[in-house]
Amino acid sequence: GITPHPDLDGRILPGYDFISDPVTANDGNGRDADPSDPGDATGDNECGDGIPGEPSFFHGTFVSGIIAAGTDNGVGIAGLDWNAKILPVRTLGKCGGSF
């Protein structure tokens, strides 16, 4: 998934959320055309007994920035490809599951 970021404005194509289970998706619905990432922070034992909670990492947005961040705009970093477009898809929800 992806979160809004000023360095990626104009570089994001329409994407898709492939996570079927609304609880795992953490966005209140199943598969849909909204690939935005509401965050995947988990509490202690939420992903299994004895498994500590973790904060959201927003991996998709982080990697997208490395690839396609705008340049010479005074925000963040310069991306590797100034003309790149990002096709965001969500395939793993909180706890790493996609069922």
Cβ neighbours, 10 Å, residue 83: 7
Domain boundaries, given as residue ranges, for the chain: 1-38+58-99
DSSP category for residue 58:
-
Angle (CA) 69 74 80, round 5°: 25
Q: Please give the residue that has the higher pLDDT: either 56 or 3.
A: 3
What is the chain's mean pLDDT, rounded? 88
C-beta separation of 23 from 96 below 8 A: no
Q: Does position 98 have pLDDT exceeding 60, yes or no?
A: no
Say if pTM beats, i.e. exceeds, 0.85.
Answer: no
Q: How large a percentage of the chain has pLDDT more than 70? A: 97
pLDDT at position 78 is 93
**Under DSSP, is residue 51 helix (H, G, I), strand (E, B) or coil?**
coil
Confidence of residue 81 (pLDDT cuts 50, 70, 90): very high
pLDDT at position 99 is 47
